[in-house]
Amino acid sequence: MNSQEFIKQHNLNPENYRGSWAFCIGNPWENTEDRENLENVEVLRLADQLAELTKSGGKTATSSALADYSSEDKMPKVDGSYDIVLNSLGEAVCAIQTTKIYEAKFMEVSAEHARKEGEGDLTLTYWRQIHEEFFRETGLFSPEMIILCEEFTVIS
């Protein structure tokens, strides 16, 4: 089911809809610059795992590189709007609403935030390892890089 069908089926207010995206791959179905992400099988598998982890409540936070946002991107905000989380096929999995957002340097992201991301063994060591790997692959990594830390709740 696509995002618009999901919004209707779950009686969500379309005026509060911010956007749709899949973890690690963005929205290659609407944004041509994200299309190359559909070629990496491991990233697609991870996108599906993170979407399901979010839907089940095991993942209540995420992080992204502030430098990865362009001036046209809709930044997450605590404003009552919601996003639709997609799987690797572009299908809507759940709707989330941001409850907290803050910036931190990569090396200053907290153990609490790492645990809320719900990945691996839930430790900060694991979080740093996989996120450094990911940000190195995208060419964005620096220990001083600014991370946008977002906490959310599943609303549908």
- Domain of 70, CATH number, reads 3.10.400.10
Residue 110 has pLDDT above 90, yes or no: yes
Residue 34 has pLDDT above 80, yes or no: no
> What pLDDT band is residue 56 in, cutting at 50, 70 and 90?
very high
- 65-87 pLDDT, tens digit per residue, is 999 988 888 888 999 999 999 99
Residues 110-130: what's their mean pLDDT? 97
Q: What is the reported pLDDT for 71?
A: 84
* pTM (predicted TM-score): 0.93
**Number of structural domains found in the chain:** 1
- Full domain range(s) for residue 130: 3-154
Integer Cα distance of 99 and 60 in angstroms: 10
